[in-house]
Structure formats: C-alpha cells, structure tokens
Amino acid sequence: MSYVKDPFNHDIFVSYSHGDVDGTNASPLKAWSQGFVKVLEEELKTASDEEFTHELARNVSIFLDQDHRPSQGIDPMEPLGDQLKSEVGQSAILLVLSCRQYLESAWCTKEREWWVERQKALGLPFLDRIAAASVFRTELRWPPPVGDADGKLPFTGFTFIDPQDARPYEWPVPLSTSRGPFRAELVKMVGVIGQKLFALRKHLDERRAAAADAAKLQSDDQKVLYLHGSASQVQTWDRAFERLTSSGYSVFPVEPDATSNDPAGLETVRQQRVETMSRCDALLLLATDDGRAADADLVVVGRQDRNSAKARSKKLMPCALLDTAGLATSTPKRPITAKNLNVQWIDATNDPWTPRVKQWLTDAGAGGG
C-alpha cells in the first residue's frame, strides 16, 4: 500500500529507458537509472521530520519495472503489457528520467499515455504530478502532457547532468554514499515530490471523507439535523422539531437559536451555531411567512455559517429551506436564489412532509452535496 492510499498502490512510477541497444539487457543507462531510483527511495525514507511525516517515510512506494520485491516490481508470470499498464495507472506520481533514448522509445510513450488515461478516469488533475529528471541532454521535443506548448520540459529544476562531461552525475552508478551536486539535486527533488504526495494525500483524504458522508446520507442510519429558526418562530419550530424527531431524526439544537441586540451577543450565537452545526449531517432552515427573515437566513446561515461549519468538519453539509408558509415565502424569485446557493426547497405546508426530507437527504448523498 502506498502513502497516498486508495486509489493508488504506488506513490511513484519511474518511467525510464533501458537503453538496451544490443539486446544484451546490460545497458549502462539502465544500471545508472536503477541505481538512481534506489538512492531516491533511501532519501525519501530518511528525509527529516520537517519535510515529511513518519508515515510517508515508512510507507512510500516506488514502482520500478526491474524491481522484483512483492507488489513493487513486475511479476515474471504475468503478461508484461497488461501488468505494467495496471501498475502505471495505480501510481500517484509519474517520474520520467529524461534522455534521447527515452523520447524515442515507443514503450515509454505507452507508459505516459497509460498513466494520463488513468488519471483522467479518476477525475484527478495530473499535470502537476509529472516530475522529470534530465539525465542526458537532448534536442528532441517533449510531447504533451510532459512537455509544454514549445515541447520543453516545465520541470527545469531537476537536472542530473554533469556539465563537465555531459553524462549523469555519479556515472556509472549512483550509490548511497554519493554526495556533491548529485545529492544536492536529489534532495531538492525529494522535497518537491514529498510536498506533492502530502498535498495529494490530503486531497484524497478529504474526497474519501466526502464519499463516506454521501454514503451515510443515502443509508437508513439515523441522521443528525441542525434545525435553524429564531425564537420568534418558536411554535412553528416546535412543530417541525416534533415531526422530525418522530420520524427518527436527531435534531439540534433542542430549542430555536437565541437572539441578541448587540454585536458581541450575535457573534456568540453564531459561534455556538457553527460549532453545533459542524457536528450535524445536514442543515434545515425553517421559513415562516416572514420572507425577509428567510432571505437573511439563506445568506447568513445557509451560506456563511454553513461554509464555516463545512470547513471545520470537512463534511458535505447539504442544506434545505423548510417552507412552512407557502406563497408568502415561495415567491418566484426566492427559490431561484436558494438554488443558486445550493439550498434545496422543501414544501412543508402540508403533512406528511418528512418523506420529502428523507428524499432530499438521499438525493444529496447521490449528488455529493
């Protein structure tokens, strides 16, 4: 398992040319590339705490086609093309070792295409997850997505070419003891790759949490709802509270939101509301025949406070306006405004209306918000 976790089995796939011009499988370029990857993995696993977490150092997974460790290399019993295509797509970062042989390789081209195809299928941005290390200079143009509009590498910071003899640093094989400009460039690369992995892991964790929230909204498990209404709506609020709890929902708070005439008091009420809301699964705004109050609730509670609660809890926090007044509130313009704020409109003017709440939650889960 990789550091970034599902849907990736590997954190890094190294795409490189074997440079096997005579068919002996004993290319100097291949030996240097494999030595480079070994030292890269060591550096990732021993990076300082200021750069990475212990978890990344323990779990970072690099796939290399000649690495025969379980789950980190090619299985000689499996068809090469099918297995490699799968492993490429299940890697979070594509690391290219750039040289003329690589750009001329049809096989390496397939690897890039497989990786891009899989990232698109996953719906994840990928251009910032292609790292390129220059090993030998070449005048050949880089095809997209690795190259920019001019066919040049956008990653100019990772250069392992010795300016004295135009071969890679530490030729013929980098070692754990290699220092000097090779180690300095490697440390720079590790810093960038580590930050990319850390950011991707955070994004995937949030996406997994959102998927879990969506599944919970669609399930029959007990939902926790925040029912917002002011003290001036207490009778209508009490009736809505009773119907929701009778239908199996846990409703908070257990009384309408307090009101205050001074800014400090209003801010205290708001902070309490956001704190409680962040622990709930969804938000209901109770609307009576006071249309301007409904407008204020849509903006302040349905937008501002809801966004604050979502930021705190990392939950979907779907929102709906519970219309108890009908035409007095449901003017032609107000439902449109609510929709633009991603607030569903639920008709609660006649019983039973709680099945509409259930359907709203189910739909919110299916739609991801």
Dump pLDDT digits (tens) for 89-146: 899 999 999 899 998 888 888 899 999 999 999 998 888 898 889 999 888 887 777 7
Pairing of the two strands 130-134 and 250-252: unpaired
Closest CA to 287 of 242, 346, 245, 336: 346
What are the b/e assignments for 276-303, b being 16+ CB within 10 Å?
A: ebbebbbbbbbbbebbebbbebbeebbe
Enter the pTM of the model: 0.66
Q: Is the CB of residue 56 less than 8 Å from the CB of residue 44? A: yes
Average pLDDT over residues 329-337: 88
Of 66-70, 168-172, 300-304, the one with minimum mean pLDDT is: 66-70
Domain ranges of the chain: 10-212, 219-367
- The whole-angstrom separation of Cα 338 and Cα 236 is 21
pLDDT of residue 241: 95
- In this predicted structure, the answer to whether residue 365 has a pLDDT above a threshold of 70 is yes
Under the banding of pLDDT at 50, 70 and 90, the label for residue 76 is very low
User: Quick one: fold of 10-212?
Assistant: Rossmann fold (3.40.50)
- In this predicted structure, the answer to whether residue 338 has a pLDDT above a threshold of 50 is yes
Pairing of the two strands 343-347 and 319-323: parallel
For residues 317 and 150, the model is more confident at 317
pLDDT of residue 218: 66
pLDDT of residue 70: 44
219-367 and 10-212 share a CATH fold: yes
Q: Is the CB of residue 146 less than 8 Å from the CB of residue 121? A: no
- In this predicted structure, the answer to whether residue 13 has a pLDDT above a threshold of 90 is yes
Pick the CATH number of 219-367 from 3.10.129.10, 3.40.50.920, 3.40.630.10, 3.40.50.280: 3.40.50.280
